[in-house]
């Protein structure tokens, strides 16, 4: 420990001699300032802490005794050594009154001054030790009292003890800090919380560190400085130990009788950390719903995912999965229940892959899913599982033939009806976008192009074999507007429907094949 000295003397030679030409470092001291009179010395003391003041007694403006009085009243830990050329008993009495450490007559030699400073050092060390012991005793009493208040109902006796120790429980929040590591260093965590504290009291409770944030007045929500303090603590722990800290914060409480409730809320909020990106969760009075398990609603969602995947409708499966996670987040579903339901999605994807004669989804995805620390990691993993299923299914089966077959069959059977992309997709239970992509990939043409060709082919058949009028044929093949039908027919055949029919009968009478 280095002791800081202030030298005060109106004589320049004395002041410089003591400040600059004595080996203070040899006795662990450092001169941090000097002053030419008492007023200047007192101003210096206001701006910078000092351990020992060496001052002359006779100075203009304010003398050494005035400095000693000022130190005694304002900085009682600082020691004062007075140098004087007057062996006056009255001065000595006054010096004792102000707890002056030493009263040395001038001329002063180096040895005598060093001895006086070393005596002051001893007194400072003893005083510091006594203060530390007293503080440790108070901390011990406070910790015992907070433990008692946590485990038992608040009595009048406990309320009196709280007040005697300066713990005013009339407006406060409680934060619970829980390390995520298997072997947490709670002592180190407590030290970090204490060092980062802002009007708080911190203590250990089982495997948690609890921190009480005292407020001057009630607030509608948790003040930002508390959230920021919690983020700082989490960041420090992560930087030095690479482990996460889960934090739960209670609602505001305004009496010592509510302290047990506040602690319970902070601990309960820890369970909501699964739904917090920053691992900091604030207690909500609504609380989590009952464990979800595999309800009828969950079963229906899972069935819909499996059905969609089997029908190659990956977009619909992803939509149902997103809906499941929205319900998790809204109801704060128990984390284990959420993981169980997501495990079912993994096994569904495995069954779908096997049914398509492919390898199941690798087990590492299930391990990653079960090890998810929060809802966001869990959702990302499920998305990865679904994407793995989609990519491997599509790469292994360039053309899912049954989709094309069913599409062609439906078009053939419904040429006169509404054959929009949405209608066909709905009938086949797949998404419009997936149907469009799959059909184009399989036939190298668009679905609309295929429908038009089929309709024109059927129209040619009707023109050849019936006496239906043009507008009747248009309706028979799904065109409500005869003019539009004629323009489409001309686009594909190069002539109008009536011209086609005339040429067909001319060719037929001449026994010439005509298409």
Range with lowest mean pLDDT among 16-30, 274-288, 426-440: 274-288
Domain that holds residue 51: 3-127
Mean pLDDT score across all residues of the chain: 83
Chain segment 196-212, per-residue pLDDT in tens? 556 788 888 877 888 89
Q: Which of 363, 396, 429 corresponds to the end of one domain? A: 396
* pLDDT tens per residue, range 352-396: 888 877 889 999 999 999 888 888 889 999 999 999 998 887 765
What CATH code is carried by the domain that includes residue 266?
3.30.70.270
Q: What is the pLDDT of residue 5?
A: 96
Give exposure, 72-82, as e/b (b: 16+ Cβ within 10 Å).
eeebeebbbbb
Identify the pLDDT of residue 91.
Answer: 64
Cα–Cα distances in angstroms (integers) from residue 476 to residues 274, 278, 345, 493, in the given order? 60, 63, 46, 18
Say if residue 180 is exposed, middle or buried (CB neighbours under 10 Å; 0-12, 13-18, 19+). Answer: middle
pLDDT tens-digit readout, 55-67: 998 888 888 889 9
pLDDT tier at 408, thresholds 50, 70, 90: confident
Residues 20, 105, single domain; the answer is yes
Q: Answer whether residue 467 is part of any domain.
A: yes
CATH number of the CATH domain containing 35: 3.40.50.2300
CA proximity to 268, closest of 175, 184, 378: 175
Predicted pLDDT of residue 106: 78
Residue 114 domain-assigned (yes or no): yes
Q: Is residue 499 part of a domain?
A: yes
427 and 453 in a single domain? The answer is yes
91 and 208 assigned to the same domain: no
Helix (H, G, I), strand (E, B) or coil at 151: helix
In a domain, 391, yes or no: yes
Q: State the pLDDT confidence band at 274, using cuts at 50, 70 and 90.
A: low
Rounded to an integer, the average pLDDT of 5-25 is 92
Task: Enumerate the β-bridge partners of residue 31.
Answer: 5
Tell me if 133 is assigned to some domain.
Answer: no
**Structure confidence at residue 115 (pLDDT):** 92
134-181 pLDDT per residue, tens: 666 666 788 788 888 888 888 888 888 888 888 888 899 999 888 876
Looking at the fold, whether 423 and 390 belong to one and the same domain comes out as no
Query: Are 392 and 409 members of one domain?
Result: no
Say whether both 172 and 272 belong to one domain.
yes
Q: Six-digit token pair at 58?
A: 């006779």
Is residue 337 in a domain? yes
From 364, 396, 428, the end of a domain falls on 396
296-310 and 314-331 are packed helices; what angle lies between their axes, rounded to 10 degrees? Answer: 160
The DSSP code for 253 is B
Q: Are residues 7 and 122 in the same domain?
A: yes
CA 38 to chain centre: 55
| pLDDT greater than 60 at residue 293 | no
pLDDT per residue over 96-118, tens digit each? 677 788 888 877 788 899 999 99
- Count Cα neighbours of 250 within 13 Å in the Cβ-side half-sphere: 24
Same domain for 62 and 80 = yes
Q: How far apart are CA 494 and CA 499, in angstroms?
A: 10
**327 in a domain, yes or no?**
yes
Does 132 reside within a domain?
Answer: no
Residues 342 and 369: their CA atoms lie apart, in Å, by 8
Q: Indicate whether 308 pLDDT > 90.
A: no
Phi, psi dihedral angles at 181 (to 5 degrees) = -75, 155
Q: Which two tokens stand for residue 359?
A: 């390898």
pLDDT tens profile 326-347: 888 877 788 888 898 999 999 9
More confident residue, 168 or 400: 168
> E-assigned strands of 147-258?
172-179, 200-205, 208-214, 245-249
Domain match, 101 and 215 both? no
| 409 & 392 share domain | no
Q: Per-residue pLDDT tens for 218-260?
A: 988 899 988 888 888 888 877 777 677 888 899 999 999 999 8
Domain boundary among 396, 431, 450: 396
For the chain, the domain total comes to 4
Q: Which two tokens stand for residue 137?
A: 């005793």
- Judge if 170 and 270 occupy the same domain: yes
């069935």: which residue's tokens? Answer: 303
Q: Are residues 308 and 193 in the same domain?
A: no
Q: Using CA atoms, how far apart are residues 282 and 264, in angstroms rounded to an integer? A: 12
The CATH number linked to 457 is 1.10.10.60
pLDDT of 513 above 80: no
């Amino acid at each position: 420990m280095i002791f800081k000295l202030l030298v005060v003397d109106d004589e320049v030679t004395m002041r410089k001699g003591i400040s600059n030409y004595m080996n203070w470092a040899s006795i662990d001291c450092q001169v941090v300032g000097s002053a030419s009179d008492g007023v200047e010395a007192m101003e210096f003391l206001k701006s910078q802490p000092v351990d020992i003041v060496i001052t002359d007694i006779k100075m203009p403006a304010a003398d050494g005794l005035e400095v000693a009085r000022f130190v005694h009243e304002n900085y009682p830990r600082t020691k004062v050594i007075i140098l004087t050329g007057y062996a006056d008993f009255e001065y000595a009495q006054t010096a004792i009154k102000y707890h002056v450490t030493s009263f040395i007559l001038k001329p002063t030699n180096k040895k005598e001054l060093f001895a006086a400073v070393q005596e002051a050092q001893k007194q400072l060390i003893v005083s510091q030790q006594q203060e530390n012991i007293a503080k440790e005793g108070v901390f011990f009493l406070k910790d015992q009292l907070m433990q008692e208040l946590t485990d038992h109902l608040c009595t009048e006796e406990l309320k009196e003890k709280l007040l005697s120790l300066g713990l005013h429980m009339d407006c406060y929040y409680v934060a619970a800090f829980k390390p995520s590591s298997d072997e947490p260093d709670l002592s180190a965590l407590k030290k970090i919380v204490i060092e980062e504290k802002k009007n708080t009291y911190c203590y250990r409770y089982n495997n948690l560190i609890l921190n009480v944030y005292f407020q001057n007045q009630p607030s509608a929500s948790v003040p930002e400085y508390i959230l920021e303090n919690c983020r700082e603590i989490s960041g420090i722990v992560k930087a030095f130990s690479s482990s996460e800290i889960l934090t739960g914060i209670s609602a505001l409480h305004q009496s010592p009788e509510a302290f047990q409730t506040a602690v319970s809320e902070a601990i309960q909020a820890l369970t909501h950390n699964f739904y917090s990106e920053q691992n900091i969760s604030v207690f909500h009075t609504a609380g989590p719903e009952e464990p979800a398990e595999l309800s009828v609603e969950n079963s229906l969602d899972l069935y819909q995912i499996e059905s969609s995947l089997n029908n190659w409708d990956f977009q619909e499966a992803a939509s149902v999965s997103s809906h499941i996670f929205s319900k998790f987040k809204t109801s704060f579903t128990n984390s284990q229940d959420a993981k169980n339901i997501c495990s079912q999605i993994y096994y569904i994807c495995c069954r779908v892959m096997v049914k398509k004669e492919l390898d199941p989804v690798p087990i590492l995805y299930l391990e990653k899913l079960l090890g998810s620390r929060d809802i966001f990691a869990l959702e990302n993993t499920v998305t990865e599982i679904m994407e793995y299923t989609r990519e491997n299914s599509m790469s292994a089966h360039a053309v899912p033939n049954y989709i094309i077959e069913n599409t062609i069959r439906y078009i053939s059977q419904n040429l006169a009806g509404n054959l929009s992309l949405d209608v066909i997709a709905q009938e086949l239970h797949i998404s419009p976008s997936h149907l469009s992509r799959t059909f184009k990939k399989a036939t190298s043409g668009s679905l609309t192009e295929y429908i038009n060709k089929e309709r024109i082919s059927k129209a040619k058949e009707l023109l050849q074999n019936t006496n239906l009028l043009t507008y009747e044929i248009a309706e028979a093949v799904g065109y409500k507007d005869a003019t539009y039908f004629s323009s489409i027919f001309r686009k594909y055949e190069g002539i109008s429907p009536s011209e086609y029919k005339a040429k067909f009968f001319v060719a037929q009478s001449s026994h010439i094949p005509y298409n």
